[in-house]
Amino acid sequence: MTTATDNTTARRADKKPATMAQALQRAMRDAMAEDPTVHVLGEDVGTLGGVFRVTDGLAKEFGEDRCTDTPLAEAGILGTAVGMAMYGLRPVVEMQFDAFAYPAFEQLISHVSKMRNRTRGAMAMPIVVRVPYGGGIGGVEHHSDSSEAYYMATPGLKVVTPATVEDAYGLLREAIACDDPVVFLEPKRLYWSKSDWSPEAPAPVEPIGKAVVRRAGRSATLITYGPSVPVCLEAAEAAREEGWDLEVVDLRSLVPFDDETVCASVRRTGRAVVVHESSGFGGPGGEIAARVTERCFHHLEAPVLRVAGFDIPYPPPMLEKHHLPGVDRVLDAVARLQWEAGH
């Protein structure tokens, strides 16, 4: 018999570098092994294992009926998933790239998100829509959109995005187990980010709907998610040299939104910057800034600022570095929070 301490030691020894893509694959694999109603479907998810290899090996292990290469039709993929869910299955749908999910919007908005409500709870839609999203990988046109604002604006959907290997596994497991539809946004440029991780004993993570403080600090809060989390952590390190102690909140879940964690942080620091790569106008940052202002007005020493992508169609790959909010833009915003006043 081993003691708890031994266990922990053993687990630690098991840990080895894993990518976010591998953690996502493992999450689907474990869910499929535990629950025969979980089915994966999409374009090229079978033999190829997905263009990002996130579904690698699933068809081989579980057969083509459980991990299915569909015809090339996003509305058809999501529309048939609706019918499968009606019959008691839990479809996990892969949209190949963010901008190719748009043909499925009708199904997502008119049916997936509303079915529970239309049927007064008689018919849930336990569907996960996995969408690789965002830029920074040098993709050509239509391969780098950040579409989260569209999803967030649709009641009935949950919208989740991991920034760490642990969260990729934990959040996807939860999304698959969730009785409501979840749009699961996978930050493309973090697919190959690595972390020491144990697939046999993955560390438990906070549930969907909880934000986490990735770095504690006292001078201001950076509110961010997905691909911008590493940017903000780097900015926080850089800011230390200037004497700013920045807190970084990783939202993880855009819907439901964790007002509590975000506002507790802002009340502590008195200042906030929202950072994301999707366009600012009509974007998630506006909603977040408004919520923070409504709830923390008397604690704020400065207006809530936004650092976002420009309000332009996603630029060509050779120019994307000018569009994506990087460390410098975050630090500039932090500087604009009028430090002299309080610190």
Residue span binding other proteins (CB under 8 A) among the ranges 9-17, 87-95, 271-279, 303-311: 87-95
- Give the residues across from 222 on adjacent strands: 248, 273
- 143 catalytic? Reply is yes
The distance of closest approach from Cβ of residue 88 to other proteins in the complex, given in angstroms and rounded to an integer, is: 7
Q: How far is the CB of 222 from other proteins (least distance, A)?
A: 22
Q: Is 256 in the site for other proteins (CB under 8 A)?
A: yes
Q: How far are the Cα atoms of 35, 53, 82, 230, 240 from residue 86, in angstroms, in the given order? A: 17, 29, 6, 39, 53
Q: Which of 15, 30, 75, 301 binds other proteins (CB under 8 A)?
A: 75
Angstrom distance (rounded) from CA 27 to CA 23? 6
Does 161 bind other proteins (CB under 8 A)? Our answer is no
- Residue 168 is which amino acid? A
Which range in 80-88, 168-176, 210-218, 230-238 contacts other proteins by CB under 8 A? 80-88
Q: Is 89 in the site for other proteins (CB under 8 A)?
A: yes
Minimum CB distance to other proteins smaller for 70 or for 164: 70
Q: Total binding residues for other proteins by CB under 8 A?
A: 47
Give the one residue of 1, 13, 122, 312 binding other proteins; rule: CB under 8 A.
Answer: 122
The DSSP output letter for 299 is: G
How far is the C-alpha of 57 from the C-alpha of 46, rounded, in Å?
Answer: 8
CA proximity to 198, closest of 338, 3, 30, 78: 30
338 counts as binding other proteins under rule CB under 8 A: no
Cβ atoms of 124 and 133 closer than 8 Å = no
Cα dihedral 186→191→197→203 (10° resolution): -10
Assess 111 for contact with other proteins (CB under 8 A): yes
Residues within window 211-250 making contact with other proteins, judged by CB under 8 A: none
Residue 189 engages other proteins in binding (rule: CB under 8 A): no
Q: Which of 49, 136, 139, 156 binds other proteins (CB under 8 A)?
A: 156
Which stretch in 102-110, 263-271, 273-281, 302-310 sits in contact with other proteins by CB under 8 A?
A: 102-110
Q: Within 10 A of 343 (CB to CB), how many other CB atoms are there?
A: 15
Closer to other proteins by Cβ: residue 39 or 276? 39
Q: Does 65 bind other proteins (CB under 8 A)?
A: yes
Q: Are 217 and 243 in contact (CB under 8 A)?
A: no
* Terminal Cα-to-Cα distance of the chain (whole angstroms): 55
Site string for other proteins, 276-295 (x = CB under 8 A): --------------------
CA-CA-CA-CA dihedral for 213, 15, 226, 70, to nearest 10: -150
Looking at 260, 303, 311, 341, which residue binds other proteins (CB under 8 A)? 260
Residue nearer to other proteins on the CB measure, 211 or 236:
211
Report the distance separating Cα 268 and Cα 31, nearest Å.
39
What single string gives the DSSP state of each residue in 208-238? Answer: TT--EEEE--SSEEEEE-TTHHHHHHHHHHH
* Set 143, 276, 298, 323: catalytic member: 143
Residue placing its CB nearer to other proteins in the complex, 103 or 315: 103
Alpha-carbon distance values, 84 to 38, 87, 123, 198 (Å): 10, 5, 12, 33
Query: Which of 3, 5, 71, 241 is in the footprint of other proteins by CB under 8 A?
Result: 71
Decide: 181 and 158 in contact? Cβ < 8 Å.
yes
Binding positions for other proteins, rule: CB under 8 A: 65, 70-71, 73, 75-76, 78-89, 91, 103, 106-107, 110-111, 114-124, 155-156, 158, 178-180, 209, 255-257, 259-260
Q: Which residues are catalytic?
A: 143
